[in-house]
Amino acid sequence: MTGDPRVHYCQCDMCRRATGSAFAVLAWLPSADVSWLGEEPCFRRSSPLAKRGFCQACGSPLTLAYDAALSEIALHVGTFDNPADLEPQYNYGSSQRLGWVCCGIDLPHRDTEERW
């Protein structure tokens, strides 16, 4: 990875289902700035508008890519060697946030119309 990613919490239904958690923490980068040291992820369609990459060996979720923006890819922050360096800057899918989630509640909010 090169460059500074755009990092956010994602509260949307699609990310909750894909991660098995209350939210995802994603770091967005230009796709051209991402390279894999070992095997590339396996991919599956997570909705009609996006696909997810995961590790074939352990199943860990690794990436998110929207069909309409293939020049950009999101990497799950928990998969980085130094995730503490990647602090979220805003919330996405805010209207779908579970009522008991308080991480980043003071950050700016952006919403999405998509529901899966």
Give tens-digit pLDDT for 31-60. Answer: 999 999 989 999 999 889 999 999 999 999
Domain contains 18: yes
pLDDT for the residue numbered 27:
98
The domain total for the chain is 1
Using the CB atoms, write b or e for 45-76: b if 16+ within 10 Å. ebbeebbbbbeeeeeebbbbbeeeeeebbbbb
* pTM, two decimal places: 0.89
Q: Is residue 90 part of a domain?
A: yes
CATH of the domain at 66: 3.90.1590.10
Residue 85 in any domain: the answer is: yes
Place of tokens 């352990």: 58
Paired sense of beta strands 91-92 and 109-110, if any? parallel
Cα 18 to its chain centre, rounded Å, is: 10
Does residue 69 lie within any of the structural domains? yes
**Helix boundaries (H) for the chain:** 13-19
pLDDT at 111: 79
Intervals of the chain under pLDDT 70: 1-3, 114-116
Tokens standing for residue 61: 């979720």
